[in-house]
Amino acid sequence: MDLQSTIERIYSELKPFALQGKVASYIPALAKVSPNKLAICVHTNDGDVYRVGDVCEPFSIQSISKVFGFTMAYKMLGGEIWKRLGKEPSGNSFNSLVQLEYEQGIPRNPFINAGAIVVSDILLSLYPNPQQELLEFVRRIADEPSIKYNLEVAKSEKDTGYRNAALAYFMKSFGNIQNPVEDVLDFYFLQCSLEMSALCLSKSFQYLANHGVIPSTNEQILTMSQAKRINALMITSGLYNESGDFAYRVGLPAKSGVGGGIVGIFPKKLSLCVWSPPLNEFGNSLAGIEAFERFTTYTGDSVF
Ligand code: GLU
């Protein structure tokens, strides 16, 4: 099957979908992004790359960074991490507070904001300089040394991140945040501000498509079992409270971010990134979801 013509076909079919969504504006710096950007990129485990559209333009990866932070923490702590986090879908929006009270400050999973804030706290305790460690990790797995944080986006989110601050203080009251809340939030916002292109994002997820090992370098990032478990978490919780619908329509593990990116993997075969900034009401890229659905439909490849 010709993957290049498949993604070009999808690209040409997507424009009408993007126009129905809205670019994230609750983080003021994100509202400046053009809604017309569109990129699709595929890396196969065999080393082939297929791309169409704005694939080289860095954008704010936002919640996709939760996968990278969690990978670093899980690699160090293994199953111990589940004392601080759950692994169930939340069924609530990504920044919801309600469940945390019932569940004693233990977030449902690492891919909602509360969960990623706990992961930021864990990384602050594990690494002397987690900001630099995370950046270097992402640069390595994406094979792109120019990747950086966008300090304007991080500041913009800090200035307006009242809900995330509420989540962090609330969890602190249950003893599930160990470092000073200000430090944890600063690191969480910085992580969300990472900027990467669709090309880099697709490349950076290859270890999850290849049993925890980067195919081009053979570097083992995670064990086979750990990679399997992160993929399971992505399929159950990777698209906020739209994860069930995404699994039903697409059938691939994936993670989205409010910058309009979605990255997914087909185990043992490929990783795929789509970027289109306009979002639906769940905070997921509208055209991105369409693209993923068409990709598994046209190729006939999904984990189901
Ligand atoms: N930085 C965003 C927030 O905390 C991430 C949300 C997202 O991409 O889903 O609200």
What is the per-residue pLDDT across 187-209, written as a single tens digit (0 to 9) for each? Answer: 999 999 999 999 999 999 999 99
pLDDT tens per residue across span 19-67 = 788 998 888 888 999 999 999 999 999 999 999 999 999 999 999 999 9
What does the block give as tokens for 168?
Answer: 């962090």
Residue 238 CB–ligand 1 contact under 6 Å: no
Residue 237 CB–ligand 1 contact under 6 Å: no
CA separation for the pair 294, 257 (Å, rounded): 20
pLDDT over 80 (residue 150):
yes
pLDDT in the model for residue 168? 97
Question: Cα separations (Å) of 61 from 16, 58, 66, 181, 195?
Answer: 23, 9, 10, 23, 6
Higher model confidence: residue 150 or residue 95?
A: 150
Q: Confidence band (pLDDT; 50, 70, 90) for 122?
A: very high
The verdict on pTM exceeding 0.85 is: yes
Buried b (16+ CB within 10 A) or exposed e, 270-298: bbbbbbbbbbbebbbbbbbbbbbbbbbeb
Strand 261-266 to 194-196 pairing: unpaired
pLDDT in the model for residue 91? 82
The residues assigned a catalytic role are: 63, 66, 188, 240, 258
Buried b (16+ CB within 10 A) or exposed e, 236-257: bbbbbbbbeebbebbbbbbbbb
pLDDT tens per residue across span 207-254 = 999 999 999 999 999 999 999 999 999 999 999 999 999 999 999 999
* Best residue for ligand 1 mutational test, from 26, 70, 157, 281 (most atoms within 8 Å of Cβ): 157
Ligand 1 atom closest to 257 (CA): 8
pLDDT over 70 (residue 1):
no
Strand 270-275 to 39-44 pairing: antiparallel
CA separation for the pair 114, 117 (Å, rounded): 5
DSSP label at 250? T
Torsion over CA: 143, 63, 118, 254 (sign): negative
DSSP label at 22? B
Q: Confidence band (pLDDT; 50, 70, 90) for 16?
A: confident
* Best residue for ligand 1 mutational test, from 67, 93, 94, 184 (most atoms within 8 Å of Cβ): 94
232 C-alpha to ligand 1 centroid (Å): 21
102 C-alpha to ligand 1 centroid (Å): 23
Domains and CATH numbers, the chain: 3-299 (3.40.710.10)
Torsion over CA: 167, 168, 172, 173 (sign): negative
Residue 62 CB–ligand 1 contact under 6 Å: yes
Contact 256, 240 (CB under 8 A): yes
